[in-house]
Amino acid sequence: MSDEAFGKHEALNDFRAARQRAALEELLARVTGRSSALLSYDEVAQKLHLQARAERGIQSIPLDAIVGSVGRYTDFTRTFLPRNPNDQERWVNVKASLTDPANPGWPPIDVYKVGEVYFVLDGNHRVSIARQEGWKIIEAHVIEVQTSVPLTADMQPDDLIIQAEYADFLAETDLQELRPGLDLSVTAPGQYARLREHIQVHRYFMGLDFQRDVDFPEAVAHWYDSVYLTIVEPLREGGFLRWFPGRTVTDLYLWVSEHRAALEKELGWEIRPESAAATLSPEKAVDSAPGTWRQARLLDRYTDHLFEDILVPVSGGADGWQALDQALILARRESAKVHGLHVVDSAEKAAQPEALATQARFAQICQAAGVTGTLAIEVGDPARKIVERSLVVDLVALKVIYPPSGGMGGLASPMRAIISRVPRPILALPGASSEMQAALLAYDGSPKSKEALFIATYLAEQWHTRLTVFTASEAPGPLQDYVRNYLELHELQAEFVVGKSAERDLPPVAQERGCDLLLMGGYGGSAWKELVSESLVNVMLRQAALPLLICR
């Protein structure tokens, strides 16, 4: 057998093997739901309104970035495996030419470049064989076609629909000219129609506010600056996209906007975008690690109020209103809104005079205090509802009527369940409310006590609250040095007290120094550990007479 005949025989075997792999690739595509087809350049050009072209000369281009073809997109799979049995002769001849000593090498293929991807104008078989040979790059004569939307190598046919909608949206709104560099990418078809609706609604209300006709370009720019960015920027800063892998910030904008509107209608509360975002993935928010809340509020601690929204569960009983009294004291200092929550066990009770009277009384008390406040009536389990609604606020104020007991009974306490699950600081009232003018910080170096230090520093700096720091340790020096250095960074000082037992010493220290607020970390060990050694939180909930600010 001549060398030429042997080369063609080997190429024929390679073609048959490639055809088998193509069949397997198409089978896997049906199983996974991901397309194995090449993209049609003509379809892409039509959908994206591609027109302007520019010569880019001969370049080395990555084979993985070739995603389509001008005329042969049905003859190959997405990885350029041959699908058409009639291609055998052409494929074999091109493959055999690789080993032909008389062949000076392949000429460059011809491609269109659109965004980050390429479409083969001439040279489909060369691309197919090069990929089967394991090549990473290939020489190509490149003609770049201008596009206003991004195309990437992992694009699927559904992505093309999305990009076509994006191109139409940008052409209609002219946003790329109005706000250069923006990225409004989404991951599902139909989203740009919703964005158009948002703009039209915004344009309507602009006309009412300005008492004049508002042209479309003005409405588009104003919507982007005053609506879109005011929602998107807190979501970016809060890192919420990490909870929704594979999604874009514009996806999140649409979800949050509509979810936020539904929540506000349901509860009658005004809800911040980042708070609404937390409720989209409540399990991740509730299970967040200590320090998550502090990191999210770190910038606000220096530029704004730390507690803008306060949740107050109200039972309707006489003792239950004390938590509202305490919340109003804090709200006046923080210019905060107070959100009441009254939970009943049936829809019938929610409509009865007792529940409605509680709602009316809540509104009257808030109005008399000069604080914005609204109470929502909900049906369900009180502890679960408190945890659920805590996601949209910065602080939960609770009256402690039944503090957790020791032993097994304490593990089943609803109060313990709330404190351990709520991902926000909790202001618990075992006794009467206070003005919170002198704070006692119980610090043990744990992550949750560092959260308490963060809030204590804020109170001392912004409220001028007098601060005492208590540590109970055989070697208190390093703990106190850490706190002292932290406070010095904020140009603050505190009184330091060392005790032997926090459970025994905290109440008398608070009384001796005239403290009217105790800050501490929440439950630190496992539930079973509390059976052996009772939690300091439970002890303070039973013994302390002053409000406790318990930090997650």
Output the average pLDDT for the chain.
Answer: 87
Q: Would strands 426-429 and 395-399 be described as parallel, antiparallel, or unpaired? A: parallel
Tell whether the model's pLDDT for residue 286 goes beyond 60.
no
Q: What pLDDT is stored for residue 6 in this prediction?
A: 58
Domain shared by 101 and 229, yes or no: no
Tell whether the model's pLDDT for residue 158 goes beyond 90.
no
Q: Is residue 164 part of a domain?
A: no
User: Is residue 239 very low, low, confident or very high in pLDDT (cuts 50, 70, 90)?
Assistant: confident
Q: Percent of the chain beyond pLDDT 90?
A: 51
C-alpha distances in Å from residue 167, one per residue of 155, 183, 387: 15, 12, 43
Q: How far apart are CA 438 and CA 517, in angstroms?
A: 6
Q: Percent of the chain beyond pLDDT 70?
A: 91
**DSSP-assigned states of every residue in 447-509:** HHHHHHHHHHHHIIIII--EEEEEEE-SSHHHHHHHHHHHHHHTT---EEEEES-HHHHHHHH
Tell whether the model's pLDDT for residue 437 goes beyond 90.
yes
Q: What pLDDT is stored for residue 364 in this prediction?
A: 97
Q: How far apart are CA 72 and CA 69, in angstroms?
A: 6
Is the separation of the CB atoms in 96 and 147 below 8 Å? no
Domain shared by 251 and 290, yes or no: no
User: Is residue 524 very low, low, confident or very high in pLDDT (cuts 50, 70, 90)?
Assistant: confident
Domain extent, residue 107, equals 3-157
Q: What pLDDT is stored for residue 273 in this prediction?
A: 81
Q: What pLDDT is stored for residue 263 in this prediction?
A: 82
- Residue whose C-alpha is closest to residue 73's, from 65, 63, 64, 83: 83
Domain count, the chain: 3
Tell whether the model's pLDDT for residue 102 goes beyond 80.
no
Domain shared by 546 and 432, yes or no: yes
Number of other CB atoms surrounding residue 276 within 10 Å: 24
Domain shared by 75 and 211, yes or no: no
Domain shared by 349 and 396, yes or no: yes
Domain shared by 519 and 451, yes or no: yes
Residue recorded with tokens 């000219």: 177
Tell whether the model's pLDDT for residue 59 goes beyond 90.
yes
Q: What pLDDT is stored for residue 16 in this prediction?
A: 87
CA-CA-CA-CA torsion for 285, 548, 345, 393, nearest 10 degrees?
-40
Number of other CB atoms surrounding residue 6 within 10 Å: 12
Q: Is residue 73 part of a domain?
A: yes
Q: What are the pLDDT digits (tens) for 487-519?
A: 999 999 999 999 989 999 999 999 999 999 999
Domain shared by 133 and 205, yes or no: no
Q: Tell me the whole-structure pTM to 2 decimals.
A: 0.68
Q: What pLDDT is stored for residue 152 in this prediction?
A: 82
Domain shared by 328 and 249, yes or no: no
Q: Is residue 165 part of a domain?
A: no
Q: How far apart are CA 373 and CA 336, in angstroms?
A: 9
Domain shared by 121 and 263, yes or no: no
Q: What pLDDT is stored for residue 287 in this prediction?
A: 57
Strands (E) across 63-214 are located at: 66-69, 109-114, 117-122, 137-145
User: Is residue 445 very low, low, confident or very high in pLDDT (cuts 50, 70, 90)?
Assistant: very high
Token pair for residue 120? 């083969």
Q: What pLDDT is stored for residue 95 in this prediction?
A: 86
Domain shared by 471 and 495, yes or no: yes
Least confident of 186-200, 314-328, 527-541: 527-541
Token pair for residue 538? 């439970």
Least confident of 282-291, 407-416, 460-469: 282-291
Work out the average pLDDT over 245-250: 88
Q: Is residue 163 part of a domain?
A: no
Q: Is residue 162 part of a domain?
A: no
Number of other CB atoms surrounding residue 317 within 10 Å: 10
Work out the average pLDDT over 305-329: 90
Domain shared by 296 and 315, yes or no: yes
